[in-house]
Chain A
Amino acid sequence: MNKNKKSLFSFGKSVNSNADEPCVNRREFLSKTGKIALGASAVVIGGGLFSPESFAAKKIGIHGNATLLKMARDIYPHDTLENKYYVKVMSPMSEAAEKDSDLFKLLAEGVESLDTISVEKFDLKYVDIKSESDRVVVLKSLEASPFFQKIKGALMMGIYNNPELWPRFGFGGSAWEKGGYINRGYDKNDWI
């Protein structure tokens, strides 16, 4: 499947699509700064928006944010999509949790549940499970929870309803101001 993925997601270099190392550029950046050993947490810190200096990050915590980001990438895994698009969805939620104790509880307990199940099933915390399919097993067991569904819903809007990303997926977005497609190739098809 996805024979055209490379042309669609032409960003970045073609690499082996290892789901456990989702963001190639970030990884390279991190290698250079010598923080790779910190793993996912470092990815989050390196991501900037989840900076440990920010109030939000302090409360949810480095581990919490790392777990949420990992989870976000597992829910809608697009290997060539940079972390910033996932962070842009998760970071406001972490920040809102600062003032909203119900939300904080939802997220904190959600992260805790993820880790509990991960340890039960794989003897590792969620972020440390190397295999995506193993992490999916953990997520699947929490699928019906308000925690999971809230994050899934926010991601669906943040990724697929993000006009900045539409060209990457090959969707044109608003067309009326460009005169529609009547003179812009509505009938073009060179393969059928």
Chain B
Amino acid sequence: MSAKFDLNDDSLVVIIGSGAGGGTLSNELAQKGIRSVILEAGKRFTFDDIENDEWKMFGKISWLDKRYVEGPARIAKDFPNLPAWIVKGVGGATMHWAGVAMRFQEHEFKMKTTNGTVAGANVLDWPVTLEEMAPYYEKAESKMGVCGTKATGMPYHGKSSHYKVVEEGAKRIGAKCEQANLAINTEIRDGRASCQVNGFCMQGCKVGAKWSTMYTEIPKAEATGKVELRPQSMVLRIEHDNTGKVTGVLYADKDGNQHLQKARIVAVAGNSIESPRMLLNSESSMFPAGLANSSGQVGQNYMTHTTGGVYAEFEKPVHMYKSTVVPGIVHEWKDNDPSRGHLAGYELEVLHLGLPFMSAFLNPGQGGWGRELANSLENYDNMAGFWICGEDMPVESNNVTLHPTEKDQYGLPVPVVYKTDHINDTRMRNHAYDRSKELFDSIGALKVNNLPPYPASHNMGTNRMSEHARDGVVNRWGQAHDIKNLFVSDGSQFTSSGTENPTLTIVALAIRQADYIADQMKRKEI
């Protein structure tokens, strides 16, 4: 049923990327009868490709093209070529996510209004409010099948041993802890299975209980006959005409042959490193700083969330791996309360790693060896822990730029990612480490290990939304300020990171954007 379109068909929407943003947008448009081509850099995987094996799946689905990490942060030393832990494949990062689906809080759409100017940060309000987003969040929760919400009526997963340990610790220190809203079925729903708790949510769900565009939006879009997905199609540049409108997308297929797909509209959804990179690579005499970059903000304000890990060792078994990966969240510090010593909030997301990844991330980098580490790993089955996920200050100098000389396998300049903490991030992380230790100590932890940030799966902000063209790349609809038939449909349009995992908001924005695009097409505005 998949459509097949001609390269010269200039009536199409060309969507770059098939993840939470691109995959959702294609299906939403298709349901309205709007035709699109999806150019996806990665392969198309099937359920047979999905294994419960951390390193095998890492090797199979990760985006491992050459990248550099720069900056004084430890991640640049520990993972000099892996700034981000995301996916190259149909479904994009919806393969590699734990399903956590929380709405932003009201204040997170207006950080500038809430906190004023923050020294050393480039803080801005979103040109969108929670009130406006609420109906789209509701649609996104329903589409994705988020448990514990009104939108689906699906119950939570039930308390795993890992959750119970954290819940008790939270109770003892008076912190609010709840089971997580996960886009993972707890009932058979939407033609997908119910979760059987394999414990490998983070790398492709073998039974399809977790929402991923790979087996939801994409096949649904294809079934309409309005969408053609072209996997292994790496975008080289976006073309424009002399009026400044985009006209098509040049890409290389799996054999390296180049094709130019004409377009009426182009939507960029390649995640926060590739999306700005495409715009920068599309520089021309008309747009010497790259497409849609009159503000100079393309590639800037790269945010990852303020992260870290905390794993406590106990005397008795927790067997945390027998659980959904994120069974619960400690919400106590998600609000914006400057009296804590930092602005914005964070969540402690109960999260397990398997033994293979624990050995790599407990003390990542060159120094991760020796008896202390080995002793902790011998206690693997007695561990419980968090991934800290907090709001990351937008800092203009945290950015994605193009390497001046080095090219990748497609002949494109290698992306260079500069990322380091704003002082607020450091204070927030330390606060989170301290509270986590308190929580675990209250239930008799023998040892509490703090893990530094590892490569980011939440990448945001590099084509940010702004009310005024001077402050950002896209408007409230994700439409480029400079080019009206060019859209950004992924997390790179985030003005601020919020503390919540980004996928639900990306999906809600994509649903909303599809309405806008349909409306604008009808009015012949684009």
Q: Which residues of A contact B (CB under 8 A)?
A: 1-5, 8-9, 19, 74-78, 132, 136, 143-144, 148-149, 152, 156-157, 159-161, 166, 169-176, 179-182, 184-192
Q: Does B452 contact A (CB under 8 A)?
A: no
For residue A73, give the distance in angstroms from its CB to the closest CB of chain B: 10
20 A–B pairs (Cβ distance < 8 Å), ordered by A? A4-B315, A9-B378, A78-B374, A143-B369, A152-B366, A169-B377, A170-B382, A171-B354, A171-B381, A172-B199, A175-B52, A175-B199, A175-B200, A180-B197, A181-B323, A182-B195, A185-B319, A186-B158, A186-B160, A187-B159
Alpha-carbon distance between A118 and B380 when the two chains are bound, in angstroms: 33
Alpha-carbon distance between A3 and B444 when the two chains are bound, in angstroms: 13
For residue B159, give the distance in angstroms from its CB to the closest CB of chain A: 6
Which of B36-44, B125-133, B355-363, B484-492 faces chain A? B355-363
Give which listed residue, B317, B366, B374, contacts A77 with CB less than 8 A.
B374
Please tell me if the beta carbons of B319 and A170 are within 8 angstroms of each other in the complex. Answer: yes
Please tell me if the beta carbons of A169 and B380 are within 8 angstroms of each other in the complex. Answer: yes
Please tell me if the beta carbons of B196 and A143 are within 8 angstroms of each other in the complex. Answer: no
Please tell me if the beta carbons of A75 and B380 are within 8 angstroms of each other in the complex. Answer: no
Please tell me if the beta carbons of B196 and A191 are within 8 angstroms of each other in the complex. Answer: no
Please tell me if the beta carbons of B160 and A187 are within 8 angstroms of each other in the complex. Answer: yes
Alpha-carbon distance between A32 and B377 when the two chains are bound, in angstroms: 33
Please tell me if the beta carbons of A78 and B370 are within 8 angstroms of each other in the complex. Answer: no
Please tell me if the beta carbons of A188 and B315 are within 8 angstroms of each other in the complex. Answer: no
Which of B161-169, B276-284, B396-404 faces chain A? B161-169
> Which residues in window 17-31 of B have CB below 8 A to A?
none
Please tell me if the beta carbons of B378 and A76 are within 8 angstroms of each other in the complex. Answer: no
For residue B177, give the distance in angstroms from its CB to the closest CB of chain A: 13
Please tell me if the beta carbons of B198 and A181 are within 8 angstroms of each other in the complex. Answer: yes
Q: Which residues of B contact A (CB under 8 A)?
A: 51-55, 158-161, 164-165, 168, 195-200, 206-207, 313, 315-319, 321-323, 354-356, 358-360, 366-371, 373-375, 377-382, 443, 446-447
Do A186 and B446 contact each other (CB < 8 Å), given the known contacts A1-B313, A170-B317?
no
Alpha-carbon distance between A108 and B384 when the two chains are bound, in angstroms: 42
Closest chain B residue to A19 by CB distance?
B371
Please tell me if the beta carbons of B371 and A132 are within 8 angstroms of each other in the complex. Answer: yes
Give which listed residue, A1, A77, A160, A186, contacts B370 with CB less than 8 A.
A77
Do A169 and B381 contact each other (CB < 8 Å), given the known contacts A136-B370, A174-B52, A186-B323?
yes
By a CB distance below 8 angstroms, the chain B residues around A191 are 316
Please tell me if the beta carbons of A2 and B378 are within 8 angstroms of each other in the complex. Answer: yes
New A-B contacts (12) at CB < 8 Å, excluding given A4-B316, A181-B198, A189-B164 = A2-B379, A149-B366, A161-B356, A169-B378, A174-B53, A176-B52, A176-B200, A176-B206, A176-B207, A180-B197, A181-B196, A186-B322
Alpha-carbon distance between A156 and B443 when the two chains are bound, in angstroms: 31
Please tell me if the beta carbons of B159 and A75 are within 8 angstroms of each other in the complex. Answer: no
Give which listed residue, B52, B197, B375, contacts A173 with CB less than 8 A.
B52
Please tell me if the beta carbons of B165 and A180 are within 8 angstroms of each other in the complex. Answer: no
Closest chain A residue to B446 by CB distance?
A1
Do A152 and B381 contact each other (CB < 8 Å), given the known contacts A166-B355, A187-B159?
no
Do A172 and B321 contact each other (CB < 8 Å), given the known contacts A136-B370, A160-B356, A187-B161?
yes
Please tell me if the beta carbons of B375 and A1 are within 8 angstroms of each other in the complex. Answer: yes
Please tell me if the beta carbons of A144 and B377 are within 8 angstroms of each other in the complex. Answer: no
Alpha-carbon distance between A148 and B370 when the two chains are bound, in angstroms: 12
